[in-house]
Amino acid sequence: MTNRHRSSAEPPPRPADQAVLPPDVPVEFAAFCELHRPRYLSYARVWLPDRAEAAIAVQQAFAEIAVHWRELLGSSNPTAHAWKILRGTVAEHTRQPVPTTPDRHPADDDLAILHYVVGLAAPEIADVIGTDTASVAGRLRRTMLHEASGW
């Protein structure tokens, strides 16, 4: 018979894409990381297919967000600023700007990726990038119409 309980006081190992935060981080920052890490990882994996590299990019983005955390909290839209940091960090890891089509804004490409590739609905996308759901839904419709007109 096997014992399902661990005999040591050590916690089970965490997957590489789940970083351990130092114990002294603000609870708000820890909650922000827990909420956004899975979606940030999904986005990063679109551009960085190597899981380890995507996890490193996301961890670096969170480190940068941590440096500016108090400043971000004082801004009008902390989530939008954090998204810009993530997007920039992912672009650095791709060693080139995150691609976009010439007649579309890069943010519209992000919305399309988050919706069609990652599988997020408009309200989830709005939570991730720091905007309202109506704006996301409208921009997704515009992107879809633009793509359909090119067929």
Its pTM stands at 0.78
What are the two backbone dihedrals, phi and then psi, of residue 123, each rounded to the nearest 5 degrees? -60, -40
Q: Which of 4-13, 19-28, 130-139 has the lowest mean pLDDT?
A: 4-13
Residue 13: pLDDT band with limits 50, 70, 90: very low
List, as one string, the DSSP characters of 20-49.
PPPTTS-HHHHHHHHHHHHHHHHHHHHH--
Residue 71: pLDDT band with limits 50, 70, 90: very high
Residue 121: pLDDT band with limits 50, 70, 90: very high
Residues 6+ apart with CB under 8 A from 146: 103, 104
Domain boundaries, the chain: 25-99, 100-151
Please compute the mean of the pLDDT values over residues 75-87 and round it to a whole number: 96
pLDDT tens profile 26-67: 899 999 999 999 999 999 999 999 999 999 999 999 999 999
Whole-angstrom Cα Rg for the chain: 18
Residue 86 is predicted with a pLDDT of 97
Residues 6+ apart with CB under 8 A from 32: 65, 82
Cα separation, 76 vs 57, whole angstroms: 25
Cα separation, 122 vs 131, whole angstroms: 10
Amino acid sitting at position 101? T
Residue 150 is predicted with a pLDDT of 59
Percent over 90 (pLDDT), the chain: 64
Q: Quickly name the fold that domain 100-151 has.
A: Arc Repressor Mutant, subunit A (1.10.10)
Residue 25: pLDDT band with limits 50, 70, 90: confident
